[in-house]
A and B are shown apart, each in its own frame.
Chain A
Amino acid sequence: MNIPVLTDILSANNLIAEQNRKLLDDHRIYMVNLLSSPGAGKTTFIEETIKRLDLAISVIEGDVASDVDAVRIKKLGIPVVQINTGGSCHLNAPMIQKALENLPLHKTDLIFIENVGNLICPAGYKLGENISLVMNSTTEGDDKILKYPGIFRVATSLIINKIDLLPYLDYSLEKINENFLKLNPQARIFPLSSKTGEGFDEWIKWIRTGVDNFCNKL
């Protein structure tokens, strides 16, 4: 006997992602899912954004093991929850649901999720975020967009980090722009350096506008 199922295998995750979104909407909180390979500079980028953005920010850190990143964020006086996936290669919506229980939602405007460093698996898992930022750093090379199209396709914006190293590397911003916009024509690109602060003004202006527009729409 044939039984029709017609169920999205990710439906259980997506349902909880929608519940996360609803909870955050109720608290007027904007959530950003930050994705990249390990070592692209996600934590430093979040630290520098926190210093420049006049909003109440909380952070959810996702790593396979350790609390190294959470300790760094905590030093800035920012509420942070560390999720250790224990081997799993991505964060999922139930993990975020649990993390949200441990953040002061009544005094948060913006949540950064630092996803597990991985350019494959996190792309498929909705968490309840408003936007997905994908980061590529100049030291990784300018071919990553061609090699991992899945994750770059879901990005709302692309952050190109470590542009202070451009003079020492064979990394072409033109090539990145061209390849990325073919995959994802509507997205924005922010070349910046979390070390020198170059390029941050544009990014901060954009994220601030995003948060304001979100709050005005609710």
Chain B
Amino acid sequence: MHELSLTHDMLAIAIKQGERYKAKKILSLKLKIGALTMLDPECFKFYFEQFSKDTIAEGALLVFEKVDIQIECKSCGITSNVKDFMMLCPLCYSPNVKLLSGQEILLEDIEVDL
């Protein structure tokens, strides 16, 4: 359900940026969502439709890019993608790992009509 407040904040950021460029309309928003956040794109789309009514972003397309969870093992030096959230090196099983990606909730860019 926190997709509700995230959608609200995302829309505010996009509109502010669009207005700065004097955009007539926002056509699309590109989002990068890390797998660790477990956010649901369908939820975003549903709330966005409601929130964006009567704004320059009404009708805009939401484009999602999923970012895999990537860790770097400090013991063996290998970088791996993990699918099950486990913060263990899949090669040497060391718990001494650094998270490289997977936590993103990023509005990357917007496409606008000027």
A in complex with B: yes
Which among A9, A124, A185 is the interface contact of B107 at CB below 8 angstroms? A9
Cβ–Cβ contact A184 & B17, under 8 A: no
Q: How many A-B residue pairs lie within 8 Å, measured between CB atoms?
A: 90
For the complex formed, measure the closest distance between the CB of A87 and the CB atoms of chain B, giving whole angstroms.
9
Q: Mark B71-102, 1 if CB is under 8 A from A, else 0.
A: 00000000000000111100000011100000
Say yes or no for A218: interface residue by CB 8 A criterion.
Answer: no
Given contacts A3-B21, A4-B109, contact A153 B87 (CB under 8 A): yes
DSSP majority for the A interface?
A: mixed
Question: Who on chain A is nearest to B32 by CB?
Answer: A6
Cβ–Cβ contact A9 & B6, under 8 A: yes
Distance, CA A4 to CA B106, complexed state (A) = 11
Cβ–Cβ contact A183 & B13, under 8 A: no
Residues of the A chain whose Cβ atoms lie less than 8 Å from the Cβ of B17? 3, 5, 7
Cβ–Cβ contact A10 & B107, under 8 A: no
Say yes or no for B62: interface residue by CB 8 A criterion.
Answer: no
Cβ–Cβ contact B110 & A3, under 8 A: yes
Q: Mark A170-204, 1 if CB is under 8 A from B, else 0.
A: 00000000000111111000000000000000000
Interface residues of A, CB < 8 Å — how many?
Answer: 30
Give the residues from 1 to 57 in chain A that come closer than 8 angstroms, CB to CB, to chain B.
Answer: 1-13
Say yes or no for B61: interface residue by CB 8 A criterion.
Answer: no
Distance, CA A186 to CA B74, complexed state (A) = 14
Which among A2, A7, A92, A124 is the interface contact of B13 at CB below 8 angstroms? A7
Which among B5, B21, B37, B87 is the interface contact of A183 at CB below 8 angstroms? B87
Cβ–Cβ contact A8 & B105, under 8 A: yes
Given contacts A1-B114, A5-B109, A8-B106, contact A183 B6 (CB under 8 A): no
Say yes or no for B42: interface residue by CB 8 A criterion.
Answer: no
Cβ–Cβ contact A5 & B108, under 8 A: yes
For the complex formed, measure the closest distance between the CB of B62 and the CB atoms of chain A, giving whole angstroms.
12
Q: Mark B4-44, 1 if CB is under 8 A from A, else 0.
A: 01100110111001100101000000010000111000000
Distance, CA A118 to CA B24, complexed state (A) = 40
Residues of the A chain whose Cβ atoms lie less than 8 Å from the Cβ of B105? 8-10, 124
Cβ–Cβ contact A10 & B6, under 8 A: yes
Residues of the B chain whose Cβ atoms lie less than 8 Å from the Cβ of A181? 95
Which among B14, B87, B108 is the interface contact of A6 at CB below 8 angstroms? B108
Contacts A/B (CB < 8 Å), 25 sampled: A1-B21, A1-B111, A1-B114, A3-B21, A3-B112, A5-B14, A5-B107, A5-B108, A5-B110, A8-B104, A9-B6, A9-B10, A9-B105, A9-B106, A10-B6, A12-B12, A13-B9, A90-B2, A92-B5, A120-B38, A153-B85, A183-B85, A185-B95, A185-B96, A185-B97
Hey, which bits of chain A sit against chain B, CB under 8 A? Answer: 1-13, 88-90, 92, 120-121, 124-125, 149-150, 153, 181-186
